[in-house]
């Protein structure tokens, strides 16, 4: 007698949903890993001439920049505009900064731009993924 036919179908459907959910989680992890690698490569290519993650160079260290108040790395000599800025770096502010620094802080010392939105997003995502030691 096929009295368990419907429960068998339910179990099959549940397994299919779990398999899909598991594969989408793996896909998200792979995508996140690729995004992080892309962001890291872009950071190295576009930013590392003036910035490092853990030491000041031409520009201030950038590990922990997301969530940090502007102009507050004690060991870096900021422009007056950044020293007096009253905001915290977040994704939106960093995106605007990398698009046009003057629109965020007039008379700052950084004259570099990242014109492509996808590159800005990857760099910001990479910086956001780094923890502050």
Confidence of residue 85 (pLDDT cuts 50, 70, 90): very high
pTM of the predicted model, to two decimals? Answer: 0.73
What stretches of the chain show up as alpha helix (H) in DSSP?
5-42, 80-83, 91-99, 101-104, 117-129
* Domains within the chain, CATH numbers bracketed: 5-129 (1.10.760.10)
What is the pLDDT at residue 11?
A: 47
Place of tokens 């930013």: 47
Query: What gap in Å lies between CA 34 and CA 38, rounded to an integer?
Result: 6
DSSP-derived secondary structure letter, 116: -
Residue 24 has pLDDT above 60, yes or no: no
Q: Is 85 left (phi over 0), alpha (psi -120 to 50) or beta?
A: beta
Q: How far, CA to CA in Å, does 45 sit from each of 42, 76, 122?
A: 5, 22, 12
What is the pLDDT at residue 30?
A: 44
The model's pLDDT over 37-77, given as tens digits with 9 standing for 90+, comes to 799 999 999 999 999 999 999 999 999 999 999 999 999 99
Query: What gap in Å lies between CA 74 and CA 68, rounded to an integer?
Result: 12
Query: Bridge-partner residues for 69, per DSSP?
Result: 88
- Residues sharing a CB contact under 8 Å with residue 91, sequence separation 6 or more, in sequence order: 66, 124, 128
Mean pLDDT of the chain: 83
The model's pLDDT over 5-18, given as tens digits with 9 standing for 90+, comes to 545 545 444 444 44
């Amino acid at each position: 007698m096929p009295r368990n036919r419907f429960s068998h179908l339910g179990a099959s459907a549940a397994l299919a949903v779990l398999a899909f959910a598991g594969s989408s989680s793996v896909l998200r992890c792979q995508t996140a890993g690729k995004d992080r690698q892309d962001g890291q490569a872009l950071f190295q290519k576009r930013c590392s001439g003036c910035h490092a993650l853990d030491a000041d160079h031409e520009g201030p260290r950038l590990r922990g920049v997301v969530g940090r108040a502007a102009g507050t790395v004690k060991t870096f000599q900021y422009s007056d505009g950044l020293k007096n800025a009253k905001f915290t770096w977040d994704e939106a502010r960093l995106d605007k900064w990398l698009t046009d620094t003057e629109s965020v802080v007039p008379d700052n010392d950084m004259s570099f731009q990242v014109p492509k939105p996808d590159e800005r997003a990857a760099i910001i995502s990479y910086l956001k993924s780094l923890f502050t030691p």
